[in-house]
Amino acid sequence: MLFRVTAIALFILFMGWTVQASGDDVVVGDISVPCAEDPACMNRLHPDIAAVAHADPGEKIVFISRDAFDLDLDPDKTYAPDAIPREGTGVVHALTGPVFIHGAKAGSVIAVTIEKLEPANVGWTNTSGFGFAGEQFGTDTRFITWRINNEYAVSDALPGVRIPNNSFPGVITTLPDRALLTDVLAREQQLLEAGGVVLPPDPDEAAPAEVCGIDGSHPTECLRTVPPREHGGNLDIRYMTTGTTIYLPCLIDGCGLAVGDFHYAQGDGEVSGTAIEMGGRLTVSARIVEDPPDLRHGPHYEGPASVLGIPSERFYAVTGFPLKEAGQVPANMAYLESAKIAELRNLSADVHLAARNALDAMVDYIASEYGYDRTQAYMIASVAVDFRIGQLVDVPNLGVTAILPLDIFVGRE
């Protein structure tokens, strides 16, 4: 849904809070209906998806977006902890857009500045085998909700934890062109046939249905939104927050700007597969870059250095190296069927294994130090712990460090 705010100031009631829009904002999205009934809700990527709104460079664009799974949650209600309250994942991610940027041509680069993100009043986190090292840490499926305000989030399922607001959009993207679409489909199909983890096109619950649905014009071509790609997408970078600017390629005329998957807070890594997932209201502006950066390897972004810090005065950190037991094959390498990997106890410069070991150490620390079970500790790591590369040069044992902000634990001496 698209409308322009014609009054000088209009107050809009949205999910428990009131916000103010200026006179010329372009407002996109209607969360009063499910994703399938909102013309501005999309959960696939394809160059034939039509724009639902138009904006001039520099004009404020307000995206009203639901959470990634399009859930309708009550912050005061307790949900079954062993399953997410919806079936299937066809709707993921429920994005808002696309928006046509006037003057942007195929081959352009746009700079999208995040002006503000106003959170909804409820969020959720879950664990499952989908997360990082999910076969090790996600075996106990669990779903929790958070009560959210502008300062912090709390959950009855994690007593003594209070997560400060560090809201950002997990997904910010333009649409692929036909050339990139063809290349992505080919390379991901090749990986899938080799045994790699890929989510191929699936028309189930696809939006817009007229393009990507079962009876749509391109049901086998629309890209799933889980992985980021050259055009942007599900980047899940918590530093792309208020005050930062993201540089995205325009691969089709007008770019097709879309956003969604809003996170109230996330640790670097989002290891359980989810952050504090939420809906919200995101205001951005976009301009066409005259001397654009080279985006061959993916989007660039810039902003104040303050967004790089951890939201805490004190921290505790652990380290991890690419070490394992003889006979063990890391799950992410099983599809390679290498005869060498199993018996090695030390892999050469393997970031994934080093991060897995850092996660194991951090889960153990949170559980032993604060009394949470390992699944609770895994969820805390997903929403609050930052996994960072310590060094890449000290072969064979490059290092990953996991940083826990201690100020999230309240009511403790």
Residues 6+ apart with CB under 8 A from 87: none
pLDDT, position 82:
85
pTM value is: 0.93
> What is the identity of the amino acid at 230?
E
State pLDDT tens for residues 30-56.
Answer: 999 999 999 999 999 999 999 999 999
Asked if the model's pLDDT at residue 381 lies above 70, the reply is yes
Percent of the chain at pLDDT above 90?
88
Asked if the model's pLDDT at residue 27 lies above 80, the reply is yes
Q: Which residue shows structure tokens 């951890």?
A: 310
pLDDT, position 84:
84
End-to-end CA distance of the chain: 50
Average pLDDT over residues 216-229: 98
Delineate the domains of the chain, giving CATH numbers in brackets: 2-308 (2.60.120.580), 315-408 (3.10.28.20)
CB 260 within 8 Å of CB 108 = no
State pLDDT tens for residues 250-274.
Answer: 999 999 999 999 999 999 999 999 9
pLDDT, position 413:
61
Q: Kind and range of the H or E element at 362?
A: helix 351-370
Measured in whole angstroms, how far is the alpha carbon of residue 154 from the centre of its chain?
20
pLDDT, position 4:
34
| Cβ neighbour number for residue 131 with a 10 Å cutoff | 23
Tell which wins on pLDDT, 411 or 308: 308
Average pLDDT over residues 142-150: 96
Residues across the chain? 413
Q: Kind and range of the H or E element at 215?
A: none
Residues 6+ apart with CB under 8 A from 252: 47, 106, 174, 175, 176, 177
pLDDT, position 23:
57
Q: Please, where are the H alpha helices in 156-206? A: 178-193
pLDDT, position 383:
98
State pLDDT tens for residues 63-99.
Answer: 999 999 999 999 888 888 888 888 777 899 999 999 9
Average pLDDT over residues 140-151: 95
CB 145 within 8 Å of CB 69 = no
State pLDDT tens for residues 296-346.
Answer: 999 999 999 999 999 999 999 999 999 999 999 999 999 999 999 999 999
pLDDT, position 86:
82
Asked if the model's pLDDT at residue 14 lies above 90, the reply is no
Average pLDDT over residues 146-169: 97
In this prediction, residue 193 has a pLDDT band, given cuts at 50, 70 and 90, of very high
